[in-house]
Structure 1
Amino acid sequence: MKIVAQVKLVPGSVHDADALAATLRACNRAATWVSDTAYARGLFRRNELQEAVYHDVKAAFDLAAQPAVRVIKKVVDAYTTLRANVRAGNLGPEGSRRRTRAVSKSISFREDAAQPYDDRILTWNLDARTVSIWTVAGRLKGVPFVCSPAALKLLASRKGESDLVMRDGMFFLIATIDVPEPEVFEPDGFLGVDLGIVNIATTSDGQVMSGRRVNRYRTRMLKLRRKLQAKRTKSAKRALKRNRRRESRYTTQRNHIIAKKIVHTAERTLRGVGLEDLSGIRQRATARKHQRSRLHSWAFAQLGAFVEYKARRAGVPVVYVDPRNTSRQCSECRHTYRTNRVSQARFACRSCGIVLHADHNGSRNIAHRADAAWQRGAVKRPSTA
């Protein structure tokens, strides 16, 4: 499986930082020009496009041979992704109009967009924690980088391209790592996980990961965002940009922590992980006006993706189940009724009388459904060889 490792570059001088920034500007201007040419001539295959624009790109934007090839490949990949997304779009009449608009003009690249590097123009020295990187001002040798010990360990098995990224005046390299994926083991039951807003995740073991801390943080950031938007100054816009990224980093960190706990518990107890298939939940769910911001900032998809990739690295099976009536069905007697869910936090079965935390009851139902799906072979099973 492929994962990414991020390192932060620490340029030794202002000249080095300016050279990296100028490289991104030149590469992305070249990519926009190549994109316009590709769209105008209908050249979306790599070999055809490279033959048509290669020499002009090198001469017009002062790029070396390999960076010019990477720029052309970036444009081809962007059109390939766009066309794939268009084909996978909505098939209705509105979707048809959206598809027409999506391909009605060429792709433009921001001047600070990421630029891919390969091993010919980027060399890693993991022992010294430095890189040698090509720029429009010449090759910069011995540029230090900093990263976590876990990322440094992953970089030892790095293969393929790395992307140069600039964020808030800082430079990062994002490397693709191909790590071996262990065989999925045969689970002894499933750990059900109920995802929510008040409680981010509740497991069938009764462990509750409260969302109070995250929701309070988001409420505070929402109030600050409204104040800054009312000012309409350049400094307020810069602060909005910083705060948006800060909030995103905070949510991502919390989701990583929760996903790690869930997968570690499942791995330690030799169980699989059962999750709700919540695709389209924002379109189906109705919320009052004061609840809409919480619903639409709910990062359940990111949490599910984190659980899935961490489970794959550990060989833990993951099963998605239909979430319908998991909050109304009794996990003991399977009686399903609307008023079983007394309140947000309380479940009381009208048939057998059991009283449980509502999210705990839902997670137990998810665990039962995941186990049943696994037993009837509705999901991919591990090989018995």
Structure 2
Amino acid sequence: MVGCVKFVVQVKLTPNAVQATAVVRTLHAAHVAANWVSAVSFERFGLKGSVRELRKLCYGELKARGFGAQAAQHIIKRVADSYTTLRAKIRGGSLGPEHSKRRRKAESKPVTFRPDAAHTYDDRCLSWNYDAQTVSIWTLDGRIKNVRFACSAGALKQLTEKRKGESDLMARDGKLFLVATIDIPEPEVFEPKGFTGVDRGINNLATTSDGDNHTGRRLGRYRRWQARKRAELQAKKTRSAKQLLRKRARREARHATHINHKISKTVVAVAQRTERGLALEQLQGIRERVTVSRDQRARQSSWPFHQLGAFIAYKAKRAGVPFIEVDPAYTSQRCPRCGHTERANRPTRDRFSCRRCGLAGPADHVAGVNIAKRGAAAWVFVNMPDPVPA
């Protein structure tokens, strides 16, 4: 074994009325306190506040507000981490160039935390009783014991055997959830006997170099139906319509996530059974690189491209399947047999036909074959032994 794969298990808290009031009040107070610490940090240090500096300024006030030592430390660290993330985004250019409107807006005000954001609990503030399916949790009203939680039998087994570290308390739709971190031993990556390329797209969610096609037609119909319902609700402009809009958005996201889990599970299982690695195209900046027609823009901007890739990556890691990302340039315009690359090789969106050697077939399948070849070459290059010095 060479390490651990981290993922999370979510359980639903089912407190009684008294317990729920105390937990919700504590969660709300933690968000208010985090926003106050963030304002102090921004006023004194701009975007450069550290945990040590904020502890000197804010720890006493947080204690006076009723927070315990661990809770106060978590609030301070949460704020400091948020500014660290913001600085990393600025350095990486994800908020645009120096004088862009988005970057100026981010730099001009303190970081704020949503009322439904998660609050961190460590083992000193939260303890689990797996047999009784209860937790003991710290609140501003004191420690509350025997708060029941609900989860599946599989999730309970994972919690019992592998839970480690902190847990996050969060509220959603008036319900309380705990999100716990699970450590699973990571198996050694086997030496692949070849690679399977996976091409992702809108009409075909995933097409492999083997010719397996996971179509997005059914999901596309579902999303178009949801879009029509959204338009109807948006036209009403009532409070209940806005609540329904939020509910439908979450339902649609859960449905797409479920589909992506099914696809990624199938792709990784085939690669593991055939002892091959998985190669995916890098999709960073796809919305800037790829232009689509006006009626396709909404679908492209809302499609879970990255999520499917992330699911395949972590499932491959958990199964010991080699995984690599490759340059996506011209994968659907390059002939995998003769290497000729030309835009005219793809006369339509769905068809590929090489102008030089005549090879023809589905464009997504051809792209998957090219991705597989690039993955095999990149794997050899990455794992090439270092040259022995003379």
Normalised by the shorter chain, which TM-score bucket? over 0.9
- For 2:329, what is the secondary structure of its paired residue? coil
**Structure 1 stretches of 4+ moved >3 Å:** 90-101, 380-383
What letter matches 1:16 in structure 2? Q
2:75 corresponds to: 71
Matched, 1:269 2:274: yes
Q: Answer whether contact 1:90 1:96 (CA < 8 A) is retained.
A: no
Q: Measure, in 1, the Cα distance between the counterparts of 2:61 and 2:94.
A: 39
Q: Measure, in 2, the Cα distance between the counterparts of 1:23 and 1:182.
A: 40
Matched, 1:218 2:223: yes
Question: Where do 1:298-317 residues align within 5 Å?
Answer: 298-317=303-322
Matching residue within 17, 35, 38 for 1:14: 17
1:349 corresponds to: 354
Q: Measure, in 2, the Cα distance between the counterparts of 1:199 and 1:224.
A: 24
- For 1:113, what is the secondary structure of its paired residue? coil
Structure 1 residue 102: deviation in Å? 2.0
Matching residue within 141, 166, 171 for 2:145: 141
2:212 corresponds to: 207
Matched, 1:48 2:47: no
What letter matches 1:349 in structure 2? C
Question: Where do 1:1-385 residues align within 5 Å?
Answer: 1-11=5-15, 13-42=16-45, 44-59=49-64, 61-89=65-93, 93-94=97-98, 98-155=102-159, 156-375=161-380, 377=381, 379-380=382-383
Q: Answer whether contact 1:183 1:382 (CA < 8 A) is retained.
A: no
Structure 1 residue 115: deviation in Å? 0.6
Normalised by the length of structure 2, the TM-score is 0.91
Closer, same or farther: CA 177–196 of 1 in aligned 2, 3 Å: same
Structure 1 residue 136: deviation in Å? 2.0
Q: Measure, in 2, the Cα distance between the counterparts of 1:241 and 1:330.
A: 45
Task: For structure 1, list consecutive stretches of 5 or more residues without a partner in the other structure.
Answer: none
Give CA-to-partner distance per residue, 1:108-136, whole Å, 9 cap, x none. Answer: 22233211000011001122221111122
Which has the higher mean CA deviation after the structures are superposed, 244-253 or 36-45?
Answer: 36-45
Structure 1 residue 31: deviation in Å? 1.2
Q: Answer whether contact 1:184 1:382 (CA < 8 A) is retained.
A: no
Closer, same or farther: CA 95–310 of 1 in aligned 2, 3 Å: farther
Give CA-to-partner distance per residue, 1:149-196, whole Å, 9 cap, x none. Answer: 343233222222111010001111111223322222111000011111
Q: Measure, in 2, the Cα distance between the counterparts of 1:242 and 1:381.
A: 50
Which has the higher mean CA deviation after the structures are superposed, 180-189 or 101-110?
Answer: 101-110
Structure 1 residue 201: deviation in Å? 0.3
Closer, same or farther: CA 23–74 of 1 in aligned 2, 3 Å: same
Give CA-to-partner distance per residue, 1:268-325, whole Å, 9 cap, x none. Answer: 1110001111211111111111111111122111111111111111111112122222
Give CA-to-partner distance per residue, 1:309-362, whole Å, 9 cap, x none. Answer: 111111111121222221122223333332322323222333333332221121
Which has the higher mean CA deviation after the structures are superposed, 333-342 or 295-304?
Answer: 333-342
Q: Measure, in 2, the Cα distance between the counterparts of 1:373 and 1:228.
A: 49
Q: Measure, in 2, the Cα distance between the counterparts of 1:312 and 1:380.
A: 17
Structure 1 residue 27: deviation in Å? 0.8
What letter matches 1:226 in structure 2? A
Q: Measure, in 1, the Cα distance between the counterparts of 2:28 and 2:95.
A: 38
Structure 1 residue 368: deviation in Å? 1.2
What letter matches 2:40 in structure 1? T
Share of identical aligned residues, percent?
A: 54
Q: Measure, in 2, the Cα distance between the counterparts of 1:89 and 1:324.
A: 22
- For 1:221, what is the secondary structure of its paired residue? helix
Q: Measure, in 2, the Cα distance between the counterparts of 1:250 and 1:36.
A: 38
Structure 1 residue 372: deviation in Å? 1.8
Corresponding residue pairs, total = 379
Q: Measure, in 2, the Cα distance between the counterparts of 1:289 and 1:87.
A: 32
